[in-house]
């Protein structure tokens, strides 16, 4: 789909500097711009690329004044905030690409299921008994929706996603490819012979509105009750959330984070990649956890934690400085030990 500079300026309420009729059909980074693509410049660090870019249109801030001649083929669209306007365009472009309502074949919708208006169901999609699907939901091919699942309006489930029985998704959620919601929690009890007997996991998963979950994540169902993902949570790829965990509003987790059973994560918590959080603890609202850190116990007051076990980041930096000095300190100790032995020999 093509858009002219004039149309883009109209969407963004910007000003065209150059050819208003030039059109683009794709997007590019400014350093990799090619003919027919749209790019943007907001960070002065990248200004040098605008003088050589091959992009046809570039979104810039209204206060941008070129210090060198621009390419003759480049048209500018000047706006108040180039970064946010480019993000707005990306969102608009994404909406234009959204699947139109359609039920492809082969696919399956149980007779007892109810589906709202505007459903797109891709080939080999499955909607189970008593499931309730809201309006304008997009379900890509090979998605499994189990019995008695509820999915709110405007949700998108990408290829291969699985939602087990009785789980609940709010509105405006995005579930990426390969993610599994509602698999059994890791519950086993040892008997007198040291053998592990499975504990039935009879709870569910509740995901509130505006949640986005990356590819190949696992959100385990509760043993009893619910595993809960609160409104606005964003999870990266390959995140593991165990049974009966609760994640507070607007919390974000980077790739490969693992949260053990029954942990309660507060609101607006930020967790870096590969961090591990032990079970049956609480994390205070606003806490920040640095990548690869380990949190073994409750965090009662918001702080930035680093290391394993996680400690306040400034304490960690001081400790790490001492750790790096250990070889030097050991050498000094060996030298001192040698001198003490020599002095002892002389005195004797």
The catalytic residue positions are 243
Distance of CA 268 to CAs 15, 232, 234, 252, 286, Å?
37, 9, 10, 7, 5
Handedness of CA 29, 30, 33, 39 (dihedral sign): positive
Please give the backbone phi and psi of residue 52, each rounded to the nearest 5 degrees, phi first: -130, 0
Q: Take residue 271 and report the two structure tokens written for it.
A: 């967790």
Give CA–CA dist 33/10, Å, rounded. Answer: 22
SS (H, E, C) the chain: CCEEHHHHHHHHCCEEECCCCCEECEECCHHHCCCCEEEEECCHHHHHHHCCCCCCEEEEECCCCCCCCCCCCCEEEEECCHHHHHHHHHHHHHHHCCCCCEECCCCEECCCCEECCCCEECCCCEECCCCEECCCCEECCCCEECCCCEECCCCEECCCCEECCCCEECCCCEECCCCEEEECCCCEEECCCCCEEECCCCCEEEECCCCEECCCCEEECCCCCEEEECCCCEECCCCEECCCCEECCCCEECCCCEECCCCEECCCCEECCCCEECCCCEECCCCEECCCCEECCCECCCCEEECCCCEEHHHHHHHHHHHHCHHHHHHHHHHHHHHHHHHHHHHC
Rounded-to-integer distance, Cα 5 and Cα 56, Å: 9
Distance between CA atoms of residues 14 and 58, nearest Å = 12
């Amino acid at each position: 789909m093509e858009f002219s500079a004039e149309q883009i300026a109209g969407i963004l309420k910007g000003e065209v500097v150059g050819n208003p009729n030039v059109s683009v059909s794709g997007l590019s980074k400014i350093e990799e711009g090619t003919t027919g693509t749209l790019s943007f410049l907001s960070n002065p660090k990248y200004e040098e690329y605008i003088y050589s870019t091959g992009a046809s249109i570039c979104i810039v801030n209204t206060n941008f004044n070129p210090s060198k001649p621009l390419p003759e083929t480049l048209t500018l669209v000047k706006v108040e905030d180039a970064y946010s306007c480019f993000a707005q365009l990306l969102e608009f472009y994404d909406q234009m690409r959204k699947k139109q309502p359609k039920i492809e074949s082969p696919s399956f919708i149980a007779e007892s299921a109810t589906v709202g208006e505007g459903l797109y169901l891709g080939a080999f999609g499955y909607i189970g008994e008593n499931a309730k699907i809201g309006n304008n939901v997009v379900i890509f091919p090979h998605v499994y929706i189990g019995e008695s699942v509820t999915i709110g309006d405007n949700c998108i489930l990408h290829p291969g996603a699985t939602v087990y029985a009785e789980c609940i998704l709010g509105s405006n959620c995005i579930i990426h490819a390969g993610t599994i919601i509602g698999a059994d929690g890791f519950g086993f009890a040892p008997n007198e012979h040291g053998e592990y007997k499975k504990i039935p996991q009879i709870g569910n998963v509740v995901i509130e509105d505006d949640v986005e979950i990356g590819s190949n994540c696992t959100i385990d169902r509760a043993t009893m009750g619910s595993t809960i993902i609160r409104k606005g949570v964003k999870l990266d790829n390959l995140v593991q959330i165990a049974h009966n965990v609760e994640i507070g509003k607007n919390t974000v987790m980077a790739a490969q984070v693992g949260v053990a059973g029954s942990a309660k994560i507060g609101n607006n918590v930020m967790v870096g990649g590969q961090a591990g959080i032990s079970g049956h603890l609480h994390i205070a609202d606003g806490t920040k956890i640095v990548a690869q850190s380990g949190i073994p116990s409750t965090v009662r007051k918001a702080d930035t934690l680093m290391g394993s076990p996680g400690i306040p980041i400034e304490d960690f930096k001081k400790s790490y400085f001492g750790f790096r000095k250990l070889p030097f300190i050991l050498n000094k100790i060996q030298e001192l030990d040698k001198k003490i032995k020599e002095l002892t020999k002389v005195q004797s």
